[in-house]
Amino acid sequence: MYNKKIFKDNLLRWFDAEQREMPWRETKNPYYIWLSEIMLQQTQVATVIDYYLRFIKRFPTIESLNDAKEDEVLKLWEGLGYYSRARNFHTAIKDVYQNHNSKVPNDPDQFGKLKGVGPYTQAAVMSIAFNKPLATVDGNVFRVWSRLNNDDRDTKLQSTRKAFEQELQPYVEARSGDFNQAMMELGAMVCTPKSPLCLFCPVQDNCEAFEKGTVSELPVKTTKVSKKTVKQHVYIVKNKQGEYLIEQRTAKLLNNMWEFPMYEATSQFNVNSELGMNIPFLTKPSYKLKHQFTHLQWDIEVFMAEATVDKQQVNLPERMHWMKFEDKEQYNFPVSMSKIYKFLKGH
């Protein structure tokens, strides 16, 4: 086994010199660090930066976010996806405001009980903000640690995560936040999934996979479950005043966000059955798109009404609304609906 101290020293020396500039690395405010970790889940750094800066400008303190309405929080999150992250974070901040005197708990057990805080977020925030000796294990760390140790354990298993956390524990007794960030940075910048830059790796001398020529075979992950595909029909209804019909979602996925009325293609429901009237639509879709979720894909076809309708003759259900086209920014639209909106804008 390689010398632990030399390995850690080499890694931290590289990180101190080569780490990327990120706004959340310029602060020790645990609220900001926590926000960044939530935003970075399933999302690339380049995408997150602008969202992060807008969010802390609008909600610079825990108190300001506590006072915010969910709609406004989701609006600032629009386009980042995985909206349950925003809802859980908002709920957790209210908990911090009410039960922790508006201070992010520095006790890992207390912090871990907050809504949406799993083992990774707990370790990341506690180590980076408070230097607590907790090891983070994300996709980057799985890859780096598997290769360093030529370890072929299945990284999809919870038992492997637990084992990695224990094996990394000696390295986080000091400078824990820096070590965790260095491991993640190495995975993001050097020890990449494909075509890793082994010749530039600061800990190449410690890498058993490099020595044995097995880098491309690691980490080992079980095959991903294939995504379910659901065909969706979207109906574009416009009234004589130029307003568009929109509907607030009640499903758990993207709950409470707004959309142009959408129903599964195999469903007996459509916009006419919901409105109790007969609006003729073009028989061929005017626009098609696909939208990916983690375990689901929507294949969406957009159908345009053949003519405008008289809104005085339409009795809208409570969750439906007429939207002026220029007022779109007042509503929380998921990415797929924003794409449809852009299509409509160009036609």
Please tell me if the domain spanning 4-217 has the same topology as the one spanning 228-345.
no
Sorting pLDDT into bands at 50, 70 and 90, what band is 75?
very high
CATH superfamily for 4-217 is Hypothetical protein; domain 2 (1.10.340.30)
**pLDDT greater than 60 at residue 1:** no
**pLDDT greater than 70 at residue 2:** no
Residues labelled as active-site residues: 37
Q: Which pLDDT value is given to residue 328?
A: 93
DSSP designation for 67: T
Query: Using alpha carbons only, what angle is made at residue 337 by residues 336 and 341, rounded to the nearest 5 degrees?
Result: 125
Phi, psi angle pair for 258, to nearest 5°: -100, 150
Sorting pLDDT into bands at 50, 70 and 90, what band is 275?
confident
Q: What is the pTM of this model?
A: 0.82
Looking only at the bridges linking them, the beta strands covering 296-304 and 228-236 are: parallel
Average pLDDT over residues 139-156: 96
Q: Which pLDDT value is given to residue 226?
A: 77
For residue 21, what are the contacts with CB-CB under 8 A and spacing of at least 6?
A: none
CA atoms 205, 181, 81, 85: torsion sign? positive
For 280-319, b/e burial (b = at least 16 CB within 10 A) is: ebeeeebbebebeeeeeebebebbbbeeebebeebeeeee
Average pLDDT over residues 172-187: 97
Average pLDDT, the chain: 94
Sorting pLDDT into bands at 50, 70 and 90, what band is 60?
very high
Phi, psi angle pair for 231, to nearest 5°: -85, 130
Q: Which pLDDT value is given to residue 224?
A: 67
Average pLDDT over residues 222-235: 87
8 Å CB contact between 255 and 249: yes
Q: What is the 3-state secondary structure (H, E, C) of 8-47?
A: HHHHHHHHHHHCCCCHHHHCCCHHHHHHHHHHHCCCCHHH
Q: Which pLDDT value is given to residue 72?
A: 95
Q: For the chain, give the percent of residues with pLDDT over 90.
A: 87
Domain ranges in the chain?
A: 4-217, 228-345
How confident is the model over 196-225, as pLDDT tens digits? 999 999 999 999 999 999 999 999 988 766
Sorting pLDDT into bands at 50, 70 and 90, what band is 314?
confident
Q: Which pLDDT value is given to residue 225?
A: 67
Cα separation, 7 vs 30, in Å, equals 28
Q: Which one of 2.40.40.20, 3.90.79.10, 3.40.720.10, 3.90.1150.10 gives the CATH number of domain 228-345?
A: 3.90.79.10
- For the residues of 280-300, what is the DSSP string, one character each? -B-SS-SEEEEEE-SSEEEEE
Cα separation, 251 vs 298, in Å, equals 14
Q: Which pLDDT value is given to residue 347?
A: 79
